[in-house]
Homo-oligomer: A and B are copies of this chain.
Amino acid sequence: MKKLAMGIDIGGTNTAFGLVDEDGTVFCESVISTEKYKRFDDYEAYVKALCEAMHALIDSVSFEFNLIGIGIGAPNANYHTGMIETPANLWKFRDDEANPDETRRMFHFVDDIKTYFPGVDVAITNDANAAAIGEGVFGNAKGMKDYVVITLGTGLGSGIVSNGEMIYGHDGFAGEYGHIAVDSRTEGRECGCGRKGCLEAYASATGIKRTAFELMAKMNCESDLRDTPFSKFEAVMLSVAADKGDALAKEAFRFTGEFLGKALADLVATTSPEAIILFGGLAKAGKWIFEPTKWYMEENMLATFKNKVKLLPSGIEGKNAAILGSSALIWQSAIR
């Protein structure tokens, strides 16, 4: 009988899920709103709605198959414990402001899903790790034992694989490479984590947007980008502008590539991967982000590692990438 794994991608706005076979074909997929359930006391209703929608999707499949497991990618998810810890945007407390300590909250997500799918293997990991496993099982890291996936979205996430295994670390939260210090000047950019000068404040979709506005102040060149206010500005505007020759946009990519490339040179010295894959929205800017990143990475690399490490685009990216990545959490052990 055909075997399929369910992949779930939990985002702040929507939760997407789909059934994936061992070749990475997504047979069917669906989506529910996450946002609708964002208050803490909506959590149980969210789990119920998600599981009912998955059962409906399973019932809609016209052939018989064996559901070999459910893989989940979610922010702040812990592979070791099966829990989602301190979600920043999900299931907020009614009394967040009254009880700030209470915002550190654990959700037994894997166990809760299992109550709706008895006997089915369920695993969870954070979204960057899911992307990394997806690249290893279906994408550009297929066959590699040592590689890194960097997700360049709203923030910067990383999934580091060594000796063929994801580095989760002792507490399950390793791979927070977006929060290494790259700019410890007192005026380093404020990061969402409450500190200053973290890599993701520079190298991410949000980071390059911040850079663009710093450059509007610093440079005098004309640029259409100056017509959009910060609150309406999106990182994708920069690659559109760079394609048209906009000097400010090109400098924004060079600056971003400098921070990212130097940080990747350090990561190479630490873990010596065969390849680094850039994944996510900002990576879609193609040569604009890859070329300066590669240049600064090589320029700052310890001699031993120079010209050894591939810098690659995603091999699974598209609308299904996150579902594929989450399902790969199941497939990685099934295929072995």
- A140 lies within 8 A of chain B by Cβ: no
Interface residues of A toward B: which range? 35 or more
Q: Which of A86, A173, A266 counts the most chain B CB atoms within 10 A?
A: A266
Q: Does A154 contact B (CB under 8 A)?
A: no
Contact with B along A160-191 (1 / 0, CB 8 A): 10110101111111111101110010000000
Q: A181-B262, A266-B180 are in contact. Are A174 and B300 (CB under 8 A)?
A: no
Q: A145-B170, A170-B273 are in contact. Are A193 and B302 (CB under 8 A)?
A: yes
Q: Answer whether residue A303 sits at the interface, using C-beta atoms and an 8 A cutoff.
A: yes
B-contact 0/1 string along A265-288, CB 8 Å cutoff: 111011111100000000000000
Q: A163 near B165 (CB under 8 angstroms)?
A: yes
Residue contact B273 to A179, C-beta cutoff 8 Å = no
Interface residues of A, Cβ cutoff 8 Å to B? 86, 144-147, 158, 160, 162-163, 165, 167-177, 179-181, 184, 193-195, 262, 265-267, 269-274, 300, 302-305, 308-309
Contacts of A305 in B (CB 8 A): 171, 173, 176
A269 to B176 alpha-carbon distance, docked (Å):
5
Starting from the known contacts A146-B174, A170-B273, A179-B302, 10 additional A-B residue pairs (CB-CB under 8 Å) come to: A160-B271, A162-B162, A162-B167, A163-B168, A167-B272, A170-B274, A171-B308, A181-B266, A184-B262, A195-B300
Contact yes or no, A177 B269, CB < 8 A: yes
Q: For residue A177, which residues in chain B have a CB less than 8 angstroms away from its CB?
A: 269-270
CA distance A194 to B301 in the complex (A): 11
